[in-house]
Amino acid sequence: MHDTELIRFQGIGSGIIDSHAHLAKEFFAEDQKSVIENMKAVNVTQIINPGIELKTIPELIELADNNDSIYVGIGLHPHQANEWDEFSAKTIENYINHPKVVAIGECGLDFYYNNSPKKEQIFALKEQLKLARQYNKPVIIHCRDAWTELFEILAENSEPIRGVLHCFTGNIDVINRLKQLGKHVDFYISFSGILTFPKAQDIQAAAKIVDDNRLLVETDCPFLAPLPVRGKRNEPAYVWYTAEKLAELRKQPLVTIAALCTTNAQKLFGLTD
Ligand SMILES: [Zn+2]
Ligand SMILES: [Zn+2]
């Protein structure tokens, strides 16, 4: 293990799940294997590896087929939403029934970067929500500076939808507005390493009020490494640092947070032990 500080997490309960980790070759070309070993050494028991582009689906599925603890989300990220075309839905449908594919996503809206035009982001999101409903899969939502538009889209269809707001960057108001959408919008909140940053006070306040049965934790690696490894390339093993911050903020033991995040991820994504 290359980070000796992680050793203290080895015996915490029955481990924890990283609900969002990009373990693609693109980010871990040299040492994908050792990163997976490192994660297992500290009892990060399972991860969801969400796609960003549709062309990487075969690679993600191959990795999951070779690793019991890795599951896949398939979808098109809002940054690449302008790539959505008449074949995209069909591509997703071709893989959607694979046993390791547990979610649609990541998809969503990012009006902070606007790497794709807003209109195209909204269109690609709606198409992917349609697939999630049709195939009864949870959806992994990326949302940045677009809460009003996201909630309008989620509310306009009364058919049930379930999923996660990944790498949550909202505040208490966003949590409350989500609850007001009604029972058919069944969403979890996943906190990333941003939670550990001193300036993330709004996110920290939100983390205190999320219900126990809605809580998830993630790395979003290779990005956003938490304190004390901030600035390094992130990896699933580091999910513990964010979980530890959650425990501190919510005044719950780390073992309780780990158990909640594990149970909730298993329930949302239909994972087995
Ligand atoms: Zn994202
Ligand atoms: Zn992501």
22 Cα–ligand 2 center, Å: 6
252 Cα–ligand 1 center, Å: 27
163 Cα–ligand 2 center, Å: 14
Instruction: Note residues around ion ligand 1 (Cβ under 5 angstroms).
Output: 142
52 Cα–ligand 1 center, Å: 8
20 Cα–ligand 2 center, Å: 6
Question: Whole-model pTM above 0.95?
Answer: yes
Non-local CB neighbours of 39 within 8 Å, separated by 6+ positions: 18, 47, 69, 235, 236, 237
40 Cα–ligand 2 center, Å: 21
Question: Which pLDDT belongs to residue 217?
Answer: 98
Query: How many whole angstroms separate alpha carbon 81 and alpha carbon 233?
Result: 26
Strand partners, 163: 139, 187
Shortest CA distance to 243 belongs to which of 6, 10, 14, 16?
16
Q: What string of pLDDT tens digits covers the 273 residues of the chain?
A: 557 789 899 889 999 999 999 999 999 999 999 999 999 999 999 999 999 999 999 999 999 999 999 999 999 999 999 999 999 999 999 999 999 999 999 999 999 999 999 999 999 999 999 999 999 999 999 999 999 999 999 999 999 999 999 999 999 999 999 999 988 999 999 999 999 999 999 999 999 999 999 999 999 999 999 999 999 999 999 999 999 999 999 999 999 999 999 999 999 999 987
Give CB contacts under 8 A, 24+ apart, made by 144-149. Answer: 144/109, 144/110, 144/111, 144/112, 144/113, 144/169, 145/110, 145/111, 145/112, 146/108, 146/109, 146/110, 146/111, 146/121, 147/174, 147/177, 149/109, 149/111, 149/118, 149/122
Nearest ligand to the C-alpha of residue 110? 1
166 Cα–ligand 1 center, Å: 6
Question: Which pLDDT belongs to residue 5?
Answer: 86
The answer to whether the Cα torsion of 230, 144, 161, 74 is positive or negative is: negative
CATH 3.40.250.10 matches 4-269: no
Report the half-sphere exposure of 213 (CA within 13 A, side-chain side). Answer: 2
Strand, helix or coil for residue 103? strand
168 Cα–ligand 1 center, Å: 9
Question: Which pLDDT belongs to residue 2?
Answer: 57
166 Cα–ligand 2 center, Å: 7
Strand partners, 71: 48
C-alpha torsion angle, residues 64, 50, 178, 128 (rounded to 10): -100
73 Cα–ligand 2 center, Å: 10
What residue segments make up the domains of the chain, in order of their start? 4-269
Query: How many whole angstroms separate alpha carbon 77 and alpha carbon 88?
Result: 12
**H helix runs in 109-238, sequence order:** 118-134, 147-155, 172-180, 201-209
Nearest ligand to the C-alpha of residue 51? 2
Question: Which pLDDT belongs to residue 120?
Answer: 98
